[in-house]
Structure 1
Amino acid sequence: MADAGVHTATAADLSEIVRIHRETWRLAYAELLPPEVLDALDTDEAWALAVQSGAVLKATEGEWVVGFVVASKAPDEEVAMADGSLPEDAATTALLSVLVEPRWGRRGHGTRLVAEAVRRLHETGATRGIAWVPEADKASRNFYERLGWTGDGTVRTLDAGGRPLREVRVSGPLEVRLAD
């Protein structure tokens, strides 16, 4: 494998991050989401704000950007329990979303992304992580399970262009061990 790394994404990476997001979701979620929802994924402007805030890390292999993670403090509405109450650790809970292009999968990029995000989140006082994953996305659920994250019993159903999309929230410790 060529040199692999994780770096803070910059404005120069924006077009690749947007491309990876759109193409990967179109491939992975074609059966879960209608085409019009996939065509209207987050705008370049939304990604520009995330990149500008420093919340996006990119995975590279050689000269290629192959994936990314968005990691920051979890908004209250994302960490709330099913009854709307906040857990005791709400102020120190982080929200992560990791995506690696399938053609670059199973090469450790996702784990390296999360490991670096976790390291940085610890510096901000974060103690626990959460992520929302479509219930039918077994590959992503398995990825988080390998990190020691499990479903915490919270689910939500989103309106995806008139089609319900059920997501489960996974949660776990901000600890990632990389293989030697």
Structure 2
Amino acid sequence: MADVSVRPGRSDDAATLAQIQVEVWQTAYSAFLPPAILALTPDEVRPPWAAAIAEPPSSRHHVLVAQEQEWVVGFAALAPADPQEQTPDVATTALLGPILVQPRWGRRGHGSRLLSASVEHALGDGMTRLICWIAEADEVTRTFLSAAGWQVDGYARALDTGAGELREIRMHTTLTDTGPSEQR
């Protein structure tokens, strides 16, 4: 088996994360992201990742990186849920941001390892629930999270991207010390 791992992001990862994000957007998300978003370059996307890694807002903000041998092949982001989220347990809820794996490294378990590491970090931060906003049209991510025990919770939103509207749905899972719970 290949040498694979998940580790915390480092400052020198920001450019690679930006490249992965743009590549995934342009390939897997091209059917539902506005053209202006799809036209962004890695140089335009890199600064937020550099800041998230170098100066996370709290100890409960995490950028996790999947590696295969020496290559960074994907990443995930995790943060405390926004206090404005409509959830009764917002203080113990974490928001899972994107889990993105470079297409050429797909179907090798990197997404599952990133999700598992995100759950471990959330549990370590005292979280009991994870939520994730995904594009309503993103059947691949919905299927991936559903297979891991997540469910759509009925909340939806429309984001003004500045280049068009993006409709998102929210998924959630309850955490136990062994990962996502079978009981919701």
With the shorter chain as reference, the TM-score category is 0.7 to 0.9
Contact 2:25 2:33 in 1 (8 A): no
Which secondary structure does the structure 1 equivalent of 2:170 belong to?
strand
2:133 alignment counterpart: 132
Query: For residues 15-57 of structure 1, what are the alpha-carbon distances to aligned partners after superposition, in whole Å with 9 as ceiling and x for unaligned?
Result: 1111001111111121212321223476322111211226101
Contact 1:4 1:60 in 2 (8 A): yes
1:84 alignment counterpart: none
**Structure 2 unaligned runs (5+)?**
none
1:38 alignment counterpart: 38
RMSD of aligned residue pairs (Cα, Å): 1.9
Distance in 1 separating the partners of 2:180 and 2:151: 14
Distance in 2 separating the partners of 1:36 and 1:162: 6
1:66 pairs with 66, 73, 77, which one? 73
1:116 alignment counterpart: 117
For residue 55 of structure 1, what is the amino acid of its counterpart?
H
Distance in 2 separating the partners of 1:91 and 1:163: 32
Which secondary structure does the structure 2 equivalent of 1:157 belong to?
strand
Distance in 1 separating the partners of 2:5 and 2:163: 39
Deviation at 1:176, TM superposition (A): 5.2
1:49 pairs with 40, 48, 51, which one? 51
Runs (4 or more) in structure 1 with deviation over 6 Å come to none
1:153 alignment counterpart: 154
Contact 1:128 1:171 in 2 (8 A): yes
| Residues 127 and 20 of structure 1, relative CA distance in 2, 3 Å threshold | same
| Residues 153 and 12 of structure 1, relative CA distance in 2, 3 Å threshold | same
Query: For residues 52-110 of structure 1, what are the alpha-carbon distances to aligned partners after superposition, in whole Å with 9 as ceiling and x for unaligned?
Result: 22610100111111100101211123xx22xxxxx331001001121111221221111
Which secondary structure does the structure 2 equivalent of 1:43 belong to?
helix
Distance in 1 separating the partners of 2:130 and 2:68: 26
Distance in 2 separating the partners of 1:162 and 1:73: 27
Contact 1:74 1:93 in 2 (8 A): yes
1:2 alignment counterpart: 2
| Residues 102 and 43 of structure 1, relative CA distance in 2, 3 Å threshold | closer
Contact 1:111 1:176 in 2 (8 A): no
Distance in 1 separating the partners of 2:34 and 2:88: 38
- TM-score, length of structure 1 as denominator length: 0.87
